[in-house]
Amino acid sequence: MTYNILTPRKSLNKAFLKVKPNRSQIDSFKQQLSSLLEQIKEGESEEFHKNIIADFLKNTYYAPDYYINTKGRNDQVIHNGKNTKSSVGVIIEAKSPTNKTEMPLKDRINTKAMQELVLYFLRERITQDNTEVRHLVITNIHEWFIFDAHLFDTLFARDKKLVSKFKEFEAGTLSATNTEHFYKEIAKPAIEAVENEISFTYFNINDYDKALKSSKEHDSKLIVLYKLLSPEHLLKLPFANDSNSLDKGFYNELLYLMGLEEFQEKGKKLIQRRPEKERIYGTLLESVISKLESRGELHRLDNPQQYGKNTEERLFNVGLQLVITWLNRILFLKLLEAQLLDYNQGDKSYSFLSLKRIGNFNKLADLFFNVLAVPTDKRKPSFQEAFAKVPYLNSSLFEANELENRALHIDTLDATETIPIYRSTVLKDSSGKKRTGELPILEYLFAFLESYDFSSEGSEEIQEENKKLINASVLGLIFEKINGYKDGSFFTPGFITMYMCRETIRRAVVEKFNTHYDWKCKDFGELKEDLHEEIKQGNLGRKAVRTQANQLINELKICDPAVGSGHFLVSALNELIAIKHELSILCDRNGGPLSDYQISIENDELIITDLEDRLFTYQPTHDNSQRMQEALFHEKQELIEKCLFGVDINPNSVKICRLRLWIELLKSAYYKRADRVQNSSLVCDADYEIRELETLPNIDINIKTGNSLISRFGLDEDLSKALKKSKWNISTYRNAVDSYRNAVSKDEKRDMERLINDIKSDFRTEINKNDPKIKRKAKLAGELYNLTMQQGLFEVSKTEQKKRKKQIDKLETDINKLETAIEEIKSNAIYENAFEWRFEFPEVLDDEGSFIGFDVVIGNPPYIRQEELSGIKPYLSSTYSTFTGTADLYVYFVEQALRLLQKNGAFTFIIPNKWMRASYGKKLRGFLQKYQIERLLDFGDLAVFQEATTYPLIIELKKSDAVRAFEALNVSTLKFDTNLVEYAEKNKIEVLTEELSSQGWTLSDSKVQKLMVKLRTKGKPLGEYVDEQVYYGIKTGLNEAFVIDAAIRDNLIAEDPKSEEIIKPFLAGRDIKRYQKPETNKYLIFSRRGIDIKNYPAILRYLEQFRNQLEPKPKNHEGSWHGRKTGSYKWYEIQDAVDYYEEFEKYKIIYPNICKRPEFTLDKLDFYTNQKCFIITKFSLTFLGILNSKLSYFLFQSILPKLRGDFYEPSYRYFKNFPIIDIISVDIETVVSKIIDLKEQNPTADTTSLEQDIDQMVYELYGLTEEEIKIVEGGIK
């Protein structure tokens, strides 16, 4: 039999292949593996060899973090955690080296070892319901067969016949119950049936004998084997350069050097300047702020207000912008230095970022502006000599920006100023211990950076020094967090950006080709087939077809309107290159196909390997390597310049995004060959090569600063008149932008900048003239002129004079009003950061100046709550059809994104899922229902974003008319067998668009949707049923003062019996259990609004001790406050008005606002409740029975938001939509009464049988069929 046998290299994640193990890891692996082989004893038992395999794995990788031992009848398992409580991740079937009959062969897998493995896997997957098995292994120490558990799940766990037989075998109901019967009669035929689908990784340790026995020269051959048996591979764990995880050590120490700290507020991790008493003067930010203050530099800024409300805010924001600018450059240079070292076999003469070469900030400024920004032959002689091997980059990154020129340059800082070494520093002394003491800031910064490995692009090699890897993805994540210092940033993990870019851009590519060729491809797979056929048989010739296809992809316009650190654009860049490769149209600079390499995206990284799966490494003296590197560089350049666009309100984010794109180009930078270099005076390192790097283009013009949601001019503003009156046309504008990108000198670049600004200024002026207010003002001014001129020409009567004066006065008044309105718009602070989509990107305008739009809009808009939007709500209300006063900011980003798209364009955002059910999302739901929804992925309470609970959802949409149905899935895990793309394909359901309720959307298949429609038809909304009489519990503002125990209550009443009038029994949400009589030992001092507290002297005296904390914040007070929030209440009163307080003293249903299942009970004892509860005073026992039924639980899972930890939130805004039948059922009421009586006598009484009776009665009440009951009960998880 021929199987799909993978080599160890082929089976590894290619991004993991790039991770360099350090020397100590390889030495330990080599030693442990050699020891394992030495311990083999031919005559020893299987048990003996099983144990030495376990010892090898423990000693090399797994102890103490991953427990290894036998489990039941399994030979060996590796757990996903430190002990047996954690799930099994790897199952190992170990055989002795002499047991030839039971071991599989490469061409005969169906042996006893394999059959045993099938049994052990089914016990884990079916019996234990363990979905976290990652790999299965068969080994006799010499030979290793490694299977991906995903394959076993597909071939065996989903084989219904096999699973049925397995269950019968485990239950002992088969004629034979011994395992041999299972192996021969059940497992063997099951394996036989799918044998041609089996794939596995195979290796023989004897093939590595030479590497194991040599000293160090062959150690690199062990790298793949080391990784194959590691937890990262076998347990599918994250690894060092995984773009989904933050290197906290690097991040924390970098914050320390900057002078910042991280803190938590309202569940968000924010970044701030250190508190005054903890500031470390000498850190970068403190040094900059000190210079800004002492020199009074803020006064030189054009508009200081944009940096903050007061001097302290302005100093911080200006200082941070400067520090981020400088660190951007330094980190870019660290990546460049690492790359030069890689290109030149580690030649230390290419290292330039050290204290030895750059001893102070003056020399660092020289490096920025007089070395990197100046062609090598035009540098001053001293710089030519000192930095001979540092290339010219021609990037605006190394030009002083406006803020530097107006405020401060880096050369004003003092490099000798010392700071204490960070307590958890990465720096080590000569004995390997953490360094202590103080260091000058520049020396510290260089030493810190030198402690990490920045060479992320490279071949499989060993990290001889023990350094952690820092690549571009990790830097992007770190700067995303730093940039989000104001509102808390949510860095989008790589697996999300990778999925979103893949799905969205591939749809856009299919649309592009279908439009151009008039094809009808349904998906990317069909496009691939059709294009390959076109290349083979097309009339134009293969090269011409490839060129045309490339041009079509290069015409795509992709925009992220909240670009942040540029993560989505980098993922989009990678995806575009991968798409070209898959379509076989990725070509070299001469148009020849690059068929010698494989390109894929793994872990959000672009991975290039040769046909034998070896990582591509740029070798400047090798023709094929040079050809590939040049092709990559210019492909990236073309795609960045023509396809990728971004906008962000945060100027720091814009800087970081530009940096990320420059870094992507830097990864593919190459040394120019002699035939491509004009300057023949440069020295050659080889006969045909010159040591000059290809310069970087000015890609910054595609990434702009501005508020994506606010514009003075609409997208439909007429630009044609402006073009007719202007000396410019759209072609001139586009050419100016292209010239800017490719400007080779600063003067040329500045000329293009001026020209672009002139063109945009003309557009603004001409569009302004079309403003109805300006037109109206001009018309009235003409009328006024005519009236005033007529007065002196003819004699008129007094009556006529009076009439004219009245007309003149009115005209002058109207003109003044219009002038005021026009001036207000000009000067309105709302428009301070306005972004003019209408003409900022000429690439999305046609030749007549009409706005066409982008092919793709993608991103993760900011999560800013509506409470923070008060200043711009009037604008949002007048501009966005989805406006609702309580909607968060992302709602308007969705509408804006759809506006920015061209017809049939592709849209994908990741946003909170609350809009699907919340009342503020109603308009957005209606808005989206007009378009073709492609897919919704709801992650619920899964922790997609580190350290933030956001309940994210991915929405994918096409800007065309709505269709009958769309795909959806509720994502239940982030531990995918393969990736999110395959997980979505495997778990998607079809949702009918017309069945979506205006009350809220539920992602259910068509059967569930139809059931929900039936339930809504049978019942009325709960809110209507109870006449909106659902009341929120009491929010005191300070429970410490108002909530007391029984002892304090008794003391207060003993001191003054009148106190009892306002002390009420008080329940919290956790006190409420279904059908149980509420009990509590807590009481509420209910000093409601308007109470005369003097009537209750004992309570007044008691509350006095909390007075400072109880004082309401004055309305005009700025900054922090020691007491409660602003309000009209007095210090001794409950914070909220609670005008409905009398409702608490009635019979009522009470329930918690967070629960895992329905928890409704009846209160007859006048309990008051806290804000974690709701009460319903219009009720019946039938109603209570319905609320606690399985049908209600089904509605919980279908309608309510799911919170972290499998909790649900029956807040009234969602709960009011529950369909309730308005009927009294005597049968239900009888059983409910019985349950309540039993629970009163014994709260733990088992009422399961009675509750099941109610379930059946409720089903009958709603007229559910057997099939519908199965849907309800099957839907309850």
Helix ranges restricted to H, 105-159: 112-122, 149-152
Q: Region 1145-1149: what's the mean pLDDT?
A: 93
Torsion angle of the four alpha carbons 332, 338, 343, 344, in this order, in degrees rounded to the nearest 10: 130
Residue 677 has pLDDT above 70, yes or no: no
Q: Region 717-732: what's the mean pLDDT?
A: 77
Total number of domains in the chain: 5
Reduced to 3 states (helix: H, G, I; strand: E, B; else coil), residue 1112 is strand
Backbone angles phi, psi at 307, to 5 degrees: -95, 0
pLDDT band at 489 (very low <50, low <70, confident <90, very high): low
Residues 202 and 78 in one domain: yes
In the prediction, which pLDDT does 244 show? Answer: 56
Residue 186 belongs to some domain of the structure = yes
Contact 1006, 991 (CB under 8 A): yes
Written as one letter, the residue type at 1264 is: L
Residue whose pair of structure tokens reads 């509605």 in the numeric block: 1195
* pLDDT tens digit sequence for 1181-1218: 999 999 999 999 999 888 888 787 788 888 888 888 89
In the prediction, which pLDDT does 238 show? Answer: 80
pLDDT band at 455 (very low <50, low <70, confident <90, very high): confident
Q: Region 407-419: what's the mean pLDDT?
A: 94
Question: Per-residue DSSP letters for 533-588?
Answer: HHHHH-TT-HHHHHHHHHHHHHT--EEETT-TTSHHHHHHHHHHHHHHHHTT--B-
Q: What is the domain-level CATH number for residue 924? A: 3.40.50.150
Pairing of strands 1043-1045, 1148-1152: unpaired
Reduced to 3 states (helix: H, G, I; strand: E, B; else coil), residue 913 is helix
Residue 798 belongs to some domain of the structure = no
Residues 867 and 961 in one domain: yes
Residues 543 and 691 in one domain: yes
Residues 413 and 527 in one domain: no
Residue 1141 has pLDDT above 70, yes or no: yes
Q: For residues 19 and 862, give the distance between their C-alpha atoms in angstroms, rounded to a whole number.
A: 33
Among 234, 267, 297, identify where a domain stops. 234
Q: For residues 35 and 521, give the distance between their C-alpha atoms in angstroms, rounded to a whole number.
A: 58
Q: Which residues of 165-203 are buried (b: 16+ CB within 10 A; e: fewer)?
A: bbeebbeeeeeeeeeeebbeebbbebbeeeeeebebbbb
Residues 1042 and 1077 in one domain: yes
Q: For residues 566 and 660, give the distance between their C-alpha atoms in angstroms, rounded to a whole number.
A: 7
Q: For residues 306 and 66, give the distance between their C-alpha atoms in angstroms, rounded to a whole number.
A: 53
pLDDT band at 467 (very low <50, low <70, confident <90, very high): confident
Q: Which residues of 277-292 are buried (b: 16+ CB within 10 A; e: fewer)?
A: eeeeebbbbbbbbbbb
CA nearest to 693, candidates 716, 665, 713, 712: 665
Residue 266 belongs to some domain of the structure = yes
Residues 452 and 511 in one domain: no
Q: Region 1090-1110: what's the mean pLDDT?
A: 94
Residue 797 belongs to some domain of the structure = no
Among 705, 724, 742, identify where a domain stops. 705
In the prediction, which pLDDT does 684 show? Answer: 41
Tell me which of 26-30, 263-267, 639-643, 841-845 is least confident. Answer: 263-267
Residue 746 belongs to some domain of the structure = no
Q: What tokens does 1076 get?
A: 């149980």
Contact 1172, 884 (CB under 8 A): no
Q: For residues 830 and 871, give the distance between their C-alpha atoms in angstroms, rounded to a whole number.
A: 8
DSSP state of 275: P
The three state secondary structure string of 1137-1202 is CCCCHHHHHCCEEEEECCECCCCCEEECCCCEEECCEEEECCCCHHHHHHHCCHHHHHHHHHHCCE
Q: For residues 482 and 192, give the distance between their C-alpha atoms in angstroms, rounded to a whole number.
A: 56
What residues does 452 pair with on adjacent strands?
468
CA nearest to 834, candidates 719, 715, 713: 713
Written as one letter, the residue type at 150 is: H
CA nearest to 137, candidates 149, 150, 127, 147: 147
DSSP state of 194: T
For the ranges 309-318, 481-490, 783-792, 1002-1011, the one whose mean pLDDT is highest = 309-318
In the prediction, which pLDDT does 457 show? Answer: 57
pLDDT band at 199 (very low <50, low <70, confident <90, very high): very high
Residues 1039 and 972 in one domain: no
Residue 528 belongs to some domain of the structure = yes
Residues 120 and 143 in one domain: yes
pLDDT band at 1036 (very low <50, low <70, confident <90, very high): very high
List Cα–Cα distances, 936 to 511, 964, 976, 978, 993, in angstroms: 20, 15, 18, 20, 12
Residue 687 has pLDDT above 50, yes or no: no
Residue 688 has pLDDT above 60, yes or no: no
In the prediction, which pLDDT does 109 show? Answer: 95
Helix (H) / strand (E) containing 858: strand 854-859
Mean pLDDT score across all residues of the chain:
89
* pLDDT tens digit sequence for 494-515: 899 999 999 999 999 999 999 9
Q: For residues 906 and 510, give the distance between their C-alpha atoms in angstroms, rounded to a whole number.
A: 11
CA nearest to 1194, candidates 942, 1014, 966: 1014
* pLDDT tens digit sequence for 934-951: 999 999 888 888 766 788
Residue whose pair of structure tokens reads 């540029």 in the numeric block: 566
Q: For residues 1151 and 1161, give the distance between their C-alpha atoms in angstroms, rounded to a whole number.
A: 7
Structural domain harbouring 908: 861-1003
Cβ partners under 8 Å of residue 517, min gap 6: 530, 534
Q: What tokens does 544 get?
A: 């011409």
Side-chain-side CA neighbours of residue 1214 (13 Å): 21
CA nearest to 754, candidates 766, 767, 743: 743
CA nearest to 1100, candidates 1054, 1131, 1123: 1131
Residue 847 belongs to some domain of the structure = no
Residues 255 and 337 in one domain: yes
Q: Region 761-780: what's the mean pLDDT?
A: 73
Residue 968 belongs to some domain of the structure = yes
Please write down the long-range contacts of 689-695, taking CB distance under 8 Å and 24 or more positions apart.
Answer: 689/620, 689/621, 691/389, 692/376, 692/391, 692/392, 693/391, 693/392, 693/393, 693/669, 694/630, 694/633, 694/669, 694/670, 695/392, 695/393, 695/394, 695/395, 695/744
List Cα–Cα distances, 27 to 23, 64, 233, in angstroms: 6, 19, 19
Contact 1070, 1171 (CB under 8 A): no
* pLDDT tens digit sequence for 33-46: 999 999 998 888 88
Residues 205 and 261 in one domain: no
Residues 1127 and 1247 in one domain: yes
Residues 333 and 252 in one domain: yes
* pLDDT tens digit sequence for 108-163: 999 999 999 999 999 999 999 999 999 999 999 999 999 999 999 999 999 999 99
The three state secondary structure string of 519-531 is CCCCCHHHHHHHH
pTM for the model stands at 0.84
Among 1003, 1018, 1053, identify where a domain stops. 1003
